[in-house]
Amino acid sequence: MRHRCVPAACSLMLMLVIALPLFAAQADATLDTLPSWLAFMHPDGGKTDIDSWVVLSCALVMAAGTASGGWRIIKPLGDKMVKLHPINGVAVDTASATILLTAAQLGMPVSTTHSISTAIMGVGFAKNPRALKMSVIERIVWAWLLTIPASAIVAALIFEALKLKIPGL
């Protein structure tokens, strides 16, 4: 039997579905700061504003990345890990944005992807623990565990190669 939405509840739900991603985006942005070595991107010498060319470049690169391969990440999270409905999306957005804002207030670096992924897992578990597809979760966790050492190895190899080319580095 399919559940029908009461009109007032549907209107509230629609407003939440629109407003919560904005809240989540703002929460995500609170963690984004430029390191001091990128101060040249600020028109006022690193005080407040970022040049519009930087914002536009970032937006274009992020859009291209999402268009070219984003569905490889989005589909497993929102469909293959557990089947989500709009109300579940509201819970995921609320939980992940709260985690991001709390971490930002405490000065803790937190991955947006990790917080959203675990919020999806939590909502799926609350909905029905057996509905979670553990094979998808296992692949995600292995990717998280292998990313840091793999990045460190690649960085070390690049640094060693640069030391050979640039004496005194």
3-class state of residue 80 by DSSP: helix
Q: Which domain holds residue 56?
A: 7-132
Co-location of 111 and 28 in the same domain: yes
Co-location of 120 and 169 in the same domain: no
Q: Is residue 60 part of a domain?
A: yes
Q: Is residue 2 part of a domain?
A: no
Instruction: Check residue 2 and give its pLDDT.
Output: 56
Instruction: Check residue 152 and give its pLDDT.
Output: 93
Co-location of 161 and 125 in the same domain: no
Give the separation between CA 90 and CA 106, rounded to whole angstroms: 24
Co-location of 16 and 40 in the same domain: yes
Q: Is residue 148 part of a domain?
A: yes
> Would you say how long the chain is, in residues?
169
Q: Is residue 1 part of a domain?
A: no
pLDDT digits (tens, 9 = 90+) for 143-166: 889 988 999 999 999 999 999 988
Query: What mean pLDDT value characterizes the chain?
Result: 77
Co-location of 96 and 18 in the same domain: yes
The total number of structural domains that make up the chain: 2
96 half-sphere exposure, CB direction, 13 A CA radius: 28
Co-location of 30 and 92 in the same domain: yes
Burial class (CB in 10 A: 0-12, 13-18, 19+), 130: exposed
Instruction: Check residue 58 and give its pLDDT.
Output: 75
Co-location of 101 and 76 in the same domain: yes
- Buried b / exposed e over 150-164, threshold 16 CB at 10 Å, is eeeeeeeeeeeeeee
Instruction: Check residue 29 and give its pLDDT.
Output: 58
CB contact set of 132 (below 8 Å; sequence gap of 6+): 81, 82, 121, 124, 125
Give the separation between CA 110 and CA 102, rounded to whole angstroms: 10
Cβ(69)–Cβ(76) below 8 Å: no
Residue 124 sits at the vertex; the CA angle it makes with 16 and 136, to the nearest 5 degrees, is 120
Instruction: Check residue 1 and give its pLDDT.
Output: 47
* Banded model confidence at residue 57, pLDDT cuts 50, 70, 90: confident
Burial class (CB in 10 A: 0-12, 13-18, 19+), 94: middle
Co-location of 84 and 164 in the same domain: no
Most confident stretch, 3-12, 52-61, 96-105:
96-105
pLDDT digits (tens, 9 = 90+) for 8-45: 666 776 677 667 666 666 655 555 555 555 666 656 65
For residue 114, pLDDT beyond 50: yes
Co-location of 144 and 90 in the same domain: no
Co-location of 46 and 122 in the same domain: yes
DSSP secondary structure string for all residues of 110-126? --HHHHHHHHHHHHHHH
Co-location of 70 and 98 in the same domain: yes
Considering the entire predicted model, what is its pTM? Answer: 0.63
